[in-house]
Amino acid sequence: MIEIIGPLANPAATTTSGNGEKSVPLQKQLIERLQQAILTGRLPAGSLLPSSRLLAAEMGVSRNTVVIAYEHLAAVGYVVADKKGTRVSPLSSPSARGETRTSSAAPEVAYAARVEQFAATRTHADNTLPLTPGTPALDRFPLAAWRRALERSMERALPVALGYGDPAGEPALRDAIAAHLRMARGVRCEGSQVVITEGAQEALNLCVRLFTNPGDIAWVEDPGYRGAKAAFNLGDLSMLPMPVDPEGIAVPSDAWRAHPPKLIYTSPAHQYPTGAVLSVARRLELIAQARRCGAWLIEDDYDGEFRHTGEPIASMQGLVEDAPVLYVGSFSKTMFPALRIGFVVLPRVIAAHTAVALQEMLRGGHRLEQLALAHFIDSGEFGRHLGRMRRLYRERQQALRDALTMHFAPSQILGGNCGMHLTLRLPPHISDRTLAERALARRLNPRPLSGFALQQREETNGLVIGYGSTSAEQLALAVRVLATLVREMAGESGIRSTTRRAV
Ligand SMILES: Cc1ncc(COP(=O)(O)O)c(C=O)c1O
């Protein structure tokens, strides 16, 4: 029996162990072991358990301990006792059918097809590890000022703000966002066009629900943002990958006629993840063609606030009057991700009409945080925080670029004039997924570029490297580790570099 249920721990006592943990009483241990063996089929239905005397001797416990354990298992139906002995009951469990399944195995559930499409490609690593793309400098967030803003909204807005709010969000926040976007991003909007959402992700989901039907065609940048693809999957859209080059999304000229889209996802200010800036010529072409075929352009301006060189690149939405653009933004980078506040700016012509649908689709909540954020923006605290972070990210970006150019060819480094990440292209013999896995084992969390691509190509082999939450000193060390890993992998593949470059 001991081979089936294993030896019991600390059979001597039920006292507290040296490390302060309380030992589990022998009786309880025995019950749990027998239950597990029955549930997993190691003790199949009908099998005869040893007599209490034999099991007690084998396990090194008192006979009374076994008797009580058997009585308990009989009381809850795991075993039945009769004159011939104690037997495992026929349970309607895998064990009863002789199947074995460990408790950690996934249950057999018929998920919706759209959920099955979320291939298990993402590693759920700690997103505060060095080099994680997209994580801002959380330790530099002005918590004291934020606490004051929260307290202020509690003092002024309670108890009314405990009830449901406007489904489109607090008017004060919608106005504050609109004023900020007009000035900082050249967006043409009023507060009435802004819908507050739970991060950019809900804004993307909302765009899908408002403007598409299942089966409609949606174009996505490839490589591109996984969150957009997830939203399109959930809407049962038919996704068409569009290549990306140094001028941003590159739409083949016949695509508009051959595969007319309903939605087009773009990140014009800083293509995610390659960092390309969408050229003005392409912006105008996209707007004109989308207007012609009745499509909506999603402009995801996730980190456009952090421009490191030259003038800020204004939004595509503001380029022409009434552009068919759904401008999506988020406070995940400018404030902090757990705030879960984002927004979509709807075109003026449809904002009023959409409000009716929003009444059914959304519930207004998180009102205190929204009011606090409105005050944070209006009081100038947000602008000051952005200014500080812009300087910090500029320095960190330079530090990462310097470190990378010590080990890799400059032509391998993509992007970098905006935001919080750079992308490093890798040669074909260095698998980005293997490199990312090995980096994670060293507690570094760059992401494989191929994980953002629907169509795997030579150019989609690389690493997306975040610098927002990593200090300049850490960046230098981390890049040295990456270069060592790359050299090791190059050695394993038989291709050695003759320069001091890693590959
Ligand atoms: C391209 C892109 N868009 C939007 C977001 C923000 O998403 P959310 O507001 O849901 O946190 C991110 C975050 O990583 C992003 O990388």
> How high is the pLDDT of residue 120?
54
In ligand 1, the atom with minimum distance to the C-alpha of 272 is: 1
Atom number, ligand 1, closest to the C-alpha of residue 330: 9
- Please list every protein residue whose CB sits less than 6 Å from any atom of ligand 1: 134, 199-201, 225, 227, 267, 272, 300, 302, 330, 332, 337, 342
Is there a domain that residue 239 lies in?
yes
Same structural domain, 52 and 152: no
For the segment 150-159, what is each residue's pLDDT rounded down to a tens digit?
999 999 998 9
Q: Is the domain of 149 the same as that of 228?
A: yes
Asked if residue 107 is part of any domain, the answer here is: no
Backbone φ and ψ of 48, nearest 5°: -90, 130
Q: Tokens 């509690």 identify what position?
A: 154
229 lies in the same domain as 372: yes
Indicate whether 349 and 256 sit together in one domain. yes
What is the structure's pLDDT at 112?
82
Q: Is residue 50 assigned to a domain? A: yes
Considering the domain architecture, whether residues 323 and 201 belong to the same structural domain is answered as yes
* Ligand 1 center from residue 177 Cα (angstroms): 17
Q: Report, in this order, helix, strand and coil percent for the chain, each rounded to 5.
A: 45, 15, 40
- List, for residues 80-92, the tens digit of each pLDDT value: 888 888 999 887 5
Rounded to the nearest integer, the mean pLDDT of the chain is 90
Tell me which of 132, 265, 267, 332 to substitute to probe ligand 1's pocket, judged by most ligand atoms within 8 Å of the beta carbon: 332
Same domain, 412 and 391: yes
Q: Confidence class of residue 310 from pLDDT cuts 50, 70 and 90?
A: confident
Instruction: Look at 446 and 42; give whichever has higher pLDDT.
Output: 446
The predicted pLDDT at position 23 comes to 67
CA of 333 to the centre of ligand 1 (A): 8
Co-location of 368 and 456 in the same domain = no
- What's 453's domain CATH number? 3.90.1150.10
**Rounded to the nearest whole angstrom, what is the distance from the C-alpha of residue 470 to the centroid of ligand 1?**
19
Q: Which of 81, 97, 113 delimits the end of a domain?
A: 97
The CATH number of the domain holding residue 189 is 3.40.640.10
What are the strands of the beta sheet with 413-414, ordered from one edge?
413-414, 421-425, 462-466, 447-448
* Shared domain check, 246 and 184: yes
| Residue 9 banded pLDDT, cuts 50, 70, 90 | confident
Q: What tokens does 162 get?
A: 């405990």
pLDDT, tens digit (0-9, with 9 covering 90-100), for 403-456: 999 999 999 999 878 999 999 999 999 999 999 999 999 999 999 999 999 999
Both tokens of residue 236?
A: 């049962």
Q: Do both 309 and 407 map to the same domain?
A: no
What are the pLDDT digits (tens) for 126-144?
Answer: 889 999 999 999 999 999 9
Confidence band for 494, pLDDT divided at 50, 70 and 90: confident
For the stretch 163-197, pLDDT in tens is 999 999 999 999 999 999 999 999 999 999 999 99
Counting residues of the chain whose pLDDT is more than 70, the rounded percentage is 92
**Among 145-149, 369-373, 496-500, which stretch is predicted with the lowest mean pLDDT?**
496-500
Domain finish residue from 379, 401, 433: 379
pLDDT of residue 497: 63
Lowest-pLDDT range, 7-11, 293-297, 377-381?
A: 7-11
CB 78 within 8 A of CB 37: no
Query: Ligand 1 center to residue 399 CA distance, Å?
Result: 24
Q: Is residue 49 part of a domain?
A: yes
Token code pair at residue 453? 């691509």
The pLDDT assigned to 479 comes to: 97
Q: How confident is the model at residue 496 (pLDDT cuts 50, 70, 90)?
A: low
pLDDT at 17 over 60: no
Question: Of 353, 379, 405, which residue sits at a domain end?
Answer: 379
Residue 117 lies in a domain: no
Highest mean pLDDT among 216-220, 411-415, 488-492: 216-220
Q: Is residue 54 part of a domain?
A: yes
Label residue 18 by pLDDT band (50, 70, 90).
very low
Domain identity same for 320 and 251:
yes
Number of domains in the chain: 3
The closest residue, in CA terms, to atom 2 on ligand 1 is 302
Q: How confident is the model at residue 123 (pLDDT cuts 50, 70, 90)?
A: low
Q: What is the CATH number of the domain that holds 37?
A: 1.10.10.10
Alpha-carbon gap, residue 82 to 363, rounded angstroms: 60
pLDDT digits (tens, 9 = 90+) for 58-71: 999 999 999 999 98
Domain boundaries, position 39: 2-97
| Average pLDDT value for residue range 334-362 | 94
- Domain shared by 388 and 359, yes or no: no
Q: Give per-residue burial for 426-455: e unless 16+ CB within 10 Å, then b.
A: bbeebbbeebbebbbeeebbbbbbbbbbee
CA 389 – ligand 1 centroid, Å? 17
Instruction: Examine residue 503 and state whether it is found in any structural domain, yes or no.
Output: no
Clarify whether residues 194 and 234 are in a common domain. yes
Residue 300 lies in a domain: yes
E-state strands within 346-461: 413-414, 421-425, 447-448
Calculate the alpha carbon distances from 240 to 207, 243, 252, 291, 301 in Å: 17, 10, 12, 19, 21
